[in-house]
Amino acid sequence: MLSLRRQADLTQERLGQRAGLGQRTIGWIENGLAPATLDQLGAIVRAIGVPLWRLVRDE
């Protein structure tokens, strides 16, 4: 997720705003400290503008 967020030129705060999530939540998900729900993943990919499979296959 981190590389896709950076490719979209978004900060954690801006991605959180676009996805309706907190910056802290974005950070926890990116760092593997909290699992993302399907709803959160859907909001994140819509905010970044990529299909879900890109997020899942992101390395």
| pLDDT tens, position by position, 18-35 | 999 999 999 999 999 999
CA quadruple 42, 9, 1, 12: dihedral sign: negative
The CATH topology of domain 2-57 is 434 Repressor (Amino-terminal Domain) (1.10.260)
* C-alpha–C-alpha distance, residues 30 and 23, integer Å: 11
Grade residue 58 by pLDDT with cuts at 50, 70 and 90: low
- Asked if 33 contacts 19 with a C-beta cutoff of 8 angstroms, the reply is no
* C-alpha–C-alpha distance, residues 53 and 28, integer Å: 20
Regarding pTM above 0.95, the answer is no
Domain ranges of the chain: 2-57
